[in-house]
Structure 1
Amino acid sequence: MSLFSSMRDRFRASSGNFATIDAAKAAPPPSPLAPVDLTDAAQVTGVMEIAARIGEILICAGTANSDARAQIHLVASSYGLHYCHVDIVMNTITIHTAIGTGESRRNLHVFRVAPSLTVDFSRLSAVDRLIRSIHQGTTPPAQAEKRLDEINAMGPPYPRWQVLLGWGVMGGTFAVMLGGDALVGVISFLVSVLIMGINMWLANYRLPPFYQNVTGGFIAVVPAAILYNVAAGYGINFSPSQIISSGIIVLVAGLTLVQCLVDGITRAPVTSAARFFEAIMSTGAIIGGVGVGIQFSSWLGFSLPPLATIAPPVYHHVPLLIACGSIGSAAFALACGASRIEVLVSGATAAAGMVFYYFVVIPFGVTSVIACGIAAVAVGLAGGLLSRRYMMPPLITMIVGYTPMLPGLSLYRGMYATLNEQMITGFSNLAKALAITGALAAGVVLGERVARRLRRPKYFRPYSAFKRLGRYSFRRAARLTQRAPRIPRVPLSPFAPRVNRPVLPPKLGPKKPSKSAESSAATATPPPSAPKEPK
């Protein structure tokens, strides 16, 4: 990690406070010379392979197709390969270009398949720094390949116990944010650690994520139901729905359910449809696990209480809710491998979104769907500006910032009502959860686009000056010349106006005085009289 942190400090002073996607869409690399031989098929293919490997890491981290495509173009053009075609569909990357002309023309293709989508912020930050260094022109292709090998071989930045601690803090603080007390927070902390610990153990045996989500949903319900009935026997009352909802949020946060809708908004419908179906299947697995847990708890004799009406928050509790949401989001960033500064910035982004949610949107009496969408705009804007200020990928603040607003409670209420033959209530809650997800996606994309417009670098338009120059014709230039009397003219030019012609110099020789000069001289000083002769 010291190598990549030194790279970040090295390029922080030389580059502006903008993201790599801003540089990709604003201007080509600063060097006009190609560092590779564009007529050599081996060197061109090597550049395309580097760009495809970078795009693979971006896609696995959840980057939208349009942004990944732009950054692939940036890497290729930084090495001189300005003319190449990039196509991304789901998890496949295809890059095409042609070299040579005539009979020596050759078509080159690079095809790469990305593995499954996993939220890993450490690799995303490392590849973002690599893209910056390539754009600065300080990383040749051989060194870029070596760094990509190092990024692919990177292990988790934190030990497993620290990752589990982050998941536990996330679950405990979110349970308090949903209205629980200290006891609910402690129980949610333990349940979240148990859920993610078992899922990590199952992942070592290569169990598909579908069954991991089913297991997580089951574990989120059964301990909460057992502890509720045991505590009720001692006269202690708490709401198990907050514990179950926090466990659902912990599971849903790693699915990037919102990111699949971002692809549809940014005009990648095929990828969006495929990812959305995958996210729906994973979410359905969580709901199925919750349903199995509810039935299993009832079979054991530990039934859950009926759903209570959700009361609006009291305003003197709002600062506590904002603090819990911010701490939980920062813990989620830590569990996903973010660095220290990225954890702090992500927590500040989530806090900004919740402040906007409670103090700006909710007082107007709007519904929760509209409130989440408007608050997501603030999350995208604040996260985009803060991420550009601290030289980190904006995707991190986007994913972490809207996590406190994920509809975990709506998913649980919909599943519980459906199992208890309240179909209208159940389907309305499930539809509400889907609507909140879409509103979060639309709002966070809009806010990030506004931040991109505010902090974008100057666009490189080399032909704009020539276009402005072409508006001035020869006749207009001639008219401007005639209106400017200070323009020097050639003496005695036949095209120069007579009023500006210089006066001819006087001829050499005796000069005869004019009559007016003689008369004026006579009146002014009379001539002296001649002396008289003596008689």
Structure 2
Amino acid sequence: MTKTSSIGIIDTAAHTRAVLDLTMRLAEVIFAAGAGAEDATAAMEAITRAYGLKGTEANITHTIINLTHEDPATHESISRSRNVKYRSLNYAKLTATSELIAEILENPMDVADARKQLATIVSAKPQVPMLFRRVGWSLVGAGAAVLIGGGPVVILAAFVAAFIIDLITTMLDNRRVPVFYQTVVGGAIGPILAALVQVIDPSANPSLVVVAAIIMLLAGVTTFGAVHDTLSGFYLTGTARALEAMVITGGLVTGVAGASLMLSRLGLGLRVDSDVALTLANLPLLLVASVVVVIGFGLAVQVPWRAFWVVCLLGAVAEFLYLAGANAGFGLVWSSGAAAVGVGLLAAVAARIVRTPPLVIMVSALVPLVPGLSLFRGLLQVSEGEIEGLLSLLTAGAVAAALAAGAILAQSLVQFVWGPARRLQRRSIGPLMALPIALGRGSGKRI
């Protein structure tokens, strides 16, 4: 009986589909855990090439991941698409998946084995229990209260407010309530706790509780990804992510303004004053507060344990550079950009020491500099019909862009001077920050 070649064709097609499915799953995990569009796209193209598939095209448009392979012999295409609707920062999962991708690129393993390892990563227990992650967000609120000049009562109220906010917003998220309404509810909690502070301690500044709660809520809505995607050429994705951040912030302002109005009707007037004087007089206290914010954020987003000391150190460095620049008269924007460049350069070295993607280190270290105050003040002033709010909005946007652009510039310089070591990096417009990078111009084994 004569054998045909159909079996070989079927096997080849099955292998192609298996590789595409694995690649899509890997990209989905890192993208949902906090990686940028360029990192996920570069990873997809590299993985398919490692398994011998040429002519593969990968693209990401906001939440849609597309991957297409065209057989060079038959010109037939196989496409895969996934919709990543829900994204949340999970740096432990991002780091573990990034290491698996690096292992595949270095020595491609059997597709079935790779899928098993990925399934183990996805189904693994969280690095820290939910309670400790919630306490982490509370530490972000308490540390932010110290940074803006709050006293003991304000710090305690900010801690409690952040804990309650995360508890309630998590419950709403589990019920698939739109994130806008989640932030409306979360924003309303700050003024309520602030009113209690006003009753308990009339000498305290209750508005600082509101501002601390705002910073805690905005810490997870980083504009870093939006700026990174935009500078990397993913304009639609970057714009959509920036708009998403604005919608969430708008919900936050709605909650704060609505709760403040209700309290005023009850005779508990509360004016949100977010003006904070920057000074080096309390530098040790501010550095400790910035470390507390970074520790809290690290717990909340599950930064790998081995990288905790690095992000804490760089968080203090970022705060010092920012305060030094602001007090030297460089302004908020340039001071933020300089701090981001310094952290970005150090993160490139630290990432190799603790074996963690630079993105994890940079975002965590820059959280104390999130422009939550300016952004909230601007939106609140605009909602009250004050034209000065537009200037505050522009300042907040400029600070956010400076933080992201400065860190990205630093990574670009590092990878230009020390790399790229592989063709993958030359295919990218901007630096890769969520994947292991092989620095040096030799034949590196990692990306």
Q: What's the secondary structure of 2:109's corresponding residue?
A: coil
Q: 2:336 aligns with which of 340, 354, 372?
A: 372
Matched, 1:204 2:174: yes
Q: Partners in 1 of 2:238 and 2:274 — Cα distance?
A: 36
Within the candidate set 404, 408, 419, 2:368 is matched to 404
User: What do residues 8-66 of structure 1 show as CA deviations (whole Å, max 9, x unaligned)?
Assistant: xxxxxxxxxxxxxxxxxxxxxxxxxxxx9997011011111111111111221232222
3-state SS of paired residue (2:77): strand
Q: Map residues 178-189 of structure 1 onto 2, 5 A cutoff.
A: 178-189=148-159
The structural deviation recorded for 1:363 is 4.2
Unpaired segments ≥5 residues, structure 2 = 1-7, 425-447
Q: Distance in 1 between matches of 2:275 and 2:36?
A: 38
* 1:318 pairs with 2:288: no
Counterpart among 74, 96, 99 of residue 126 in structure 1 = 96
Matches within 5 A, 1:111-150: 111-137=81-107, 139-150=109-120
1:467-486 alignment runs, 5 A limit = none
Distance 2:164 2:210 in 1: 13
Kindly state the Cα deviation for residue 89 of structure 1 after the two structures are TM-superposed. 1.2
- The 5 A counterparts of 1:90-129 are 90-99=62-71, 101=73, 104-129=74-99
SS of aligned partner of 1:377: helix
User: Do residues 286 (structure 1) and 252 (structure 2) align?
Assistant: yes
Q: Secondary structure at the match of 2:67?
A: strand
Contact 1:37 1:44 in 2 (8 A): no
Select which of 406, 414, 429 maps to 2:392.
429
Among candidates 293, 305, 312, match of residue 340 of structure 1: 305
Pick from 105, 122, 142 the counterpart of residue 172 of structure 1: 142
Computing the radius of gyration from Cα coordinates, the structure with the larger value is 1
TM-aligned CA deviation for residue 309 of structure 1: 5.1
Q: 2:326 aligns with which of 343, 349, 362?
A: 362
Letter in 2 for 1:319: P
Alignment partner of 1:85: what SS? Answer: strand
Q: Against the structure 1 CA distance between its residues 297 and 426, is the aligned structure 2 distance closer, same or farther, given a 3 Å change threshold?
A: farther
Q: Verify the 8 A CA contact 1:163 1:334 in the aligned structure 2.
A: yes
- Paired position in structure 2 for 1:447: 410
Give the one of 419, 427, 445 matched to 1:456: 419
Q: How far apart, CA to CA, are the structure 1 residues paired with 2:415 and 2:141?
A: 32
One-letter amino acid matched to 1:222: I
Paired residues of 1:41 and 1:99 also in contact (CA < 8 A):
no
Distance 2:206 2:397 in 1: 23
Shift of 1:453: 3.1
Q: Aligned partners of 1:222, 1:379: CA distance in 2, in Å? A: 36
Q: Deviation at 1:255?
A: 1.8
Q: Using the alignment, how far apart are the partners of 1:65 and 1:199 within structure 2? A: 27
Q: Cα gap change, 1:378/1:38 in structure 2, threshold over 3 Å: closer, same or farther?
A: farther
What is the letter of the counterpart of residue 396 of structure 1? V
Q: Does 1:46 align with 2:11?
A: no
Query: 2:358 maps to which residue?
Result: 394
Residue of structure 1 in register with 2:315 after alignment: 350
Q: Which runs of 4+ in 1 moved over 6 A?
A: 36-39
The structural deviation recorded for 1:455 is 4.4
- Give the Å deviation of 1:419: 5.8
Q: Give the Å deviation of 1:307.
A: 3.2
| Pair 1:88-2:37 in alignment | no
Distance (Å, rounded) in 2 between the aligned partners of 1:272 and 1:417: 26
| Residues matched between the structures, number | 417
Q: Percent identity?
A: 28
SS at match of 2:387: helix
Cα shift at 1:306: 6.7
Aligned residues of 2:34 and 2:91 also touching (Cα < 8 A): no
Structure 1 306/56 Cα, relative in aligned 2: closer, same or farther at 3 Å?
closer
Q: Which amino acid aligns with 2:119?
A: D
Q: Which moved more, 1:380-389 or 1:367-376?
A: 380-389
Residue in structure 1 matched with residue 230 of structure 2 by the alignment: 264
TM superposition shift of 1:218:
0.6
Give the 3-state SS of the residue equivalent to 2:81 in structure 1: strand
With normalisation by structure 2, the TM-score equals: 0.87
1:161-183 CA deviation, whole Å, 9 max, x = no partner? Answer: 21111111111111101112232
- In structure 1, what is the equivalent of residue 43 of structure 2? 71
Q: C-alpha distance in 1, partners of 2:241/2:377? A: 25
**Partners of 1:230 and 1:293 in 2: how far apart?**
19
Q: Deviations over 1:220-272 (max 9, x none)?
A: 1221123214421xxxx122232211111111111233311221111110111
3-state SS of the aligned residue for 1:40?
Answer: helix
Cα distance in 2 for residues equivalent to 1:139 and 1:389: 26
Cα distance between partner residues in 2 of 1:225 and 1:71: 50
User: Partners of 2:381 and 2:58 in 1: how far apart?
Assistant: 47
Structure 2 Cα separation of the partners of residues 163 and 355 of structure 1: 27
8 Å CA contact 1:326, 1:351 repeated in 2 = yes
**RMSD of aligned C-alpha atoms?**
2.3
Q: Go from structure 1 to structure 2 and tell me whether the alpha carbon gap of 1:357 and 1:60 turns closer, same or farther (over 3 Å shift).
A: same
Residue 402 of structure 1 aligns to a residue whose secondary structure is helix
Identify the match of residue 329 of structure 1 among 266, 286, 294: 294
- Residues 224 and 240 in structure 1, CA contact (< 8 A), matched pair in contact too: yes
The residue number in structure 2 matching 1:239 is 205
Question: Can you list the C-alpha shifts for 1:362-411, whole angstroms capped at 9, x where unaligned?
Answer: 34311112211221112222223212221112221222122111122223
Alignment of 1:147-166 (within 5 A): 147-166=117-136
CA contact (8 A) 1:91 1:114 kept: yes
Contact 2:323–2:335 (8 Å) recurs in 1: no
> Could you tell me how far apart the structure 1 residues matched to 2:84 and 2:271 are?
45
Residues 287, 411 of structure 1: 8 Å contact kept:
no
C-alpha displacement at 1:210, in angstroms? 1.4
Partner residue, 1:473:
none
User: Counterpart of 2:429?
Assistant: none
- SS of 2:60's partner is strand
Structure 1: gaps of 5 or more residues: 1-35, 462-535
Provide, for residues 316-352 of structure 1, a one-character-per-residue CA deviation record: whole Å limited to 9, x for no partner. 4112111211221121011112221232222222122
- CA deviation profile, 1:488-526 (whole Å, cap 9, x unmatched): xxxxxxxxxxxxxxxxxxxxxxxxxxxxxxxxxxxxxxx
- Check conservation: 2:34, 2:90, Cα contact below 8 A: no
Aligned mates of 1:451, 1:245 — CA distance in 2:
36
| Partner Cα separation in structure 1 for residue 354 and residue 252 of structure 2 | 36
Verify the 8 A CA contact 2:210 2:272 in the aligned structure 1.
no
